Amino acid sequence: MEANNYSKLYHLQQQYFNTVLKQERIYARKERLFKIKKWIKNNQTLIQETLYKDFKKTPEEVLISEIKPIIGEINLALKKLRYWSKTKNVDTPLTLLGTKGKIKIEPKGVCLVIAPWNFPFMLAVGPVISAIAAGNTIVLKPSEMTPHTEKLLVKLFTDLFSKECIAVITGGIPETTELLKLPWNHIFFTGSPQVGKIVMKQAATHLSSVTLELGGRNPVVITKNANLRDTAKKLAWGKFFNNGQSCVSPNYVLIDQTIKAKFIEELKFEFVEMYGNYPDEIKENKALTRIVNNFHYNRLKNLLDNSIKAGAKVVFGNVTDSDANYISPTILTHVTVDNPIFKEEIFGPILPLIAYDNLDNALEIIHKVDTPLAFYIFSKSKKEQNYIINNTSAGTTVLNDTTLQFAHPNLPFGGMGSSGMGKAHGYFGFLEFSNQRSILSQRTNGTTSQLIYPKYNWFKRFVIRTITWNE
């Protein structure tokens, strides 16, 4: 589609929003959500096959991380939408006696959703669910890196909706650049911090509001009060889920040096239990998704080679195959903060371990890195957990596990600073696509606020002097 057609589509959606969606009842939004749910349920195998074609994503992981969370989001919205959308009355302060205040939840209007490739179905459809629930029209731009899913998303939305209501635009940077020139009422972007900056800059030209769901370098802290077998099992799963290509994937592990050797043994054991013992067995294991494409394979291979050159030691893994976009799950030790592997978001199956002498050393290392999207603490000590939480910052935090925060429908999901702004999921996602409009109604004629109008006399001066706000 050409640039002026994007503009036509935008205006078509704007008109549809003003003439249809603004007047419709909550029931109509629910109907749209229900249609998507039905389509997904009827096409579950097709979705699984499609993601397998894109990056050999295993059917089980597709169910866990692409299909079920979306069905869950829809179910929650279907159940709560009437309550979420209700106009809410607020208390009146003494100073505004006689007035009534309420918050009316309104849709923002014409919204753009830009999605990444790593959960190409869920991260495209998820924000669309929130935008529909809030009553908006939507243009969705999926990732071009997962072309089969891109086509599937076109099918899903053109099967179910007219383009005035929901449209899908395919393509890469040139198409997204053109789309970003339009005066969207809201842009919901999921992707890298680098592209997040481009999106925000473009949004600023029209003062479009933005949600930025970005990435980052997520730390894991393992203290000597952790249960090592339990930690190893959870980390072996959380790190290699989607082959490490997840925004909440652990990026580096800080571990008390007194337990490091024992922990590595536990991690190897748990890894073998899940994925196999021998290089061929691991490679053939269908539970391991592949790296998305050769560009990302080469990025990761260079990162791995450079980190080894800089002194990192391979504990296990480092089996690579460029033709298959395969790097076996790899654990590195002897990593310092100067090592290249520490300096970027890895987004692949490599896990560096850094040993620390005392907890404050570990916190110093964490403070060198931008605020992460996810923060994982493994310790049975409440005192230690609180100490770490109170001395750090993060979009989300999990105690004694990884990754699961994403699946909690009642927790806001999002980053802070370079890991993003705004929140996704459930009610929080709904609010992101809504305007909370304040409405204050005043009585006619004599009102208490007229006591502060000029002309001032001794009585009005007394009122102004003694009046207090919100006490």
Specify the residue, 195 or 389, whose C-beta has the smaller distance to ligand NAD. Answer: 195
CB 145 within 8 A of CB 114: no
Specify the residue, 258 or 294, whose C-beta has the smaller distance to ligand NAD. Answer: 294
Restricted to residues 23-42, the positions that interact with ligand NAD (CB under 6 A) are none
Q: Which of 203, 259, 351, 373 binds ligand NAD (CB under 6 A)?
A: 373
Tallying the residues shown for the chain, one arrives at 471
Selected range binding ligand NAD among 77-85, 211-219, 321-329, 457-465, rule: CB under 6 A: 211-219
**Out of 61, 150, 213, 432, which one is annotated catalytic?**
213
Burial of residue 459, with CB atoms counted within 10 A of its CB: 0-12 exposed, 13-18 middle, 19 or more buried: exposed
Smallest gap from Cβ 190 to ligand NAD, in A, equals 5
Specify the residue, 178 or 270, whose C-beta has the smaller distance to ligand NAD. Answer: 178
Side by side, the strands of the sheet bearing 209-213 are 166-168, 137-141, 110-114, 186-190, 209-213, 420-421
Q: Which residue is nearest to ligand NAD (CB)?
A: 215
CA 134 to chain CA mean position, Å? 18
> Residue 247 catalytic?
yes
Smallest gap from Cβ 129 to ligand NAD, in A, equals 14
Restricted to residues 388-417, the positions that interact with ligand NAD (CB under 6 A) are 415
Specify the residue, 219 or 355, whose C-beta has the smaller distance to ligand NAD. Answer: 219
CB 114 within 8 A of CB 191: yes
Distance CA 149, CA 70 (A): 15
Smallest gap from Cβ 172 to ligand NAD, in A, equals 5
> Which phi and psi (to 5°) does residue 102 adopt?
-145, 160
Interface with ligand NAD: number of residues (CB under 6 A): 27
| By the rule CB under 6 A, 201 interacts with ligand NAD | no
Distance CA 182, CA 1 (A): 15
**Out of 247, 270, 345, 432, which one is annotated catalytic?**
247
C-alpha neighbours within 13 Å on the C-beta side of residue 254? 25
| By the rule CB under 6 A, 198 interacts with ligand NAD | yes
Specify the pairing of strand 209-213 against strand 186-190.
parallel
Amino acid at 111: C
Smallest gap from Cβ 273 to ligand NAD, in A, equals 28
| By the rule CB under 6 A, 369 interacts with ligand NAD | no
Restricted to residues 163-192, the positions that interact with ligand NAD (CB under 6 A) are 172-173, 176-177, 190-192
Q: What is the 3-state secondary structure (H, E, C) of 337-359?
A: CCCHHHCCCCCCCEEEEEEECCH
Q: Which of 69, 107, 215, 422 binds ligand NAD (CB under 6 A)?
A: 215
Distance CA 240, CA 320 (A): 16
Smallest gap from Cβ 191 to ligand NAD, in A, equals 3
CB 377 within 8 A of CB 224: no
Distance CA 467, CA 46 (A): 66
Distance CA 250, CA 239 (A): 6
Q: Which of 214, 220, 253, 366 binds ligand NAD (CB under 6 A)?
A: 214
Specify the residue, 84 or 117, whose C-beta has the smaller distance to ligand NAD. Answer: 117
Smallest gap from Cβ 325 to ligand NAD, in A, equals 15
Restricted to residues 217-256, the positions that interact with ligand NAD (CB under 6 A) are 247
Restricted to residues 92-151, the positions that interact with ligand NAD (CB under 6 A) are 114-118, 123, 141, 143-144
Site string for ligand NAD, 431-470 (x = CB under 6 A): ----------------------------------------
CB 290 within 8 A of CB 55: yes
| By the rule CB under 6 A, 420 interacts with ligand NAD | yes
Side by side, the strands of the sheet bearing 250-256 are 313-316, 330-333, 350-356, 250-256, 218-222, 374-378, 396-399
Omega before residue 455 within 30° of 0, cis: yes
Specify the residue, 168 or 353, whose C-beta has the smaller distance to ligand NAD. Answer: 168
Smallest gap from Cβ 281 to ligand NAD, in A, equals 29
Contact footprint for ligand NAD (CB under 6 A): 114-118, 123, 141, 143-144, 172-173, 176-177, 190-192, 195, 198, 213-215, 247, 345, 347, 373, 415, 420
Active-site residues: which are they?
Answer: 213, 247
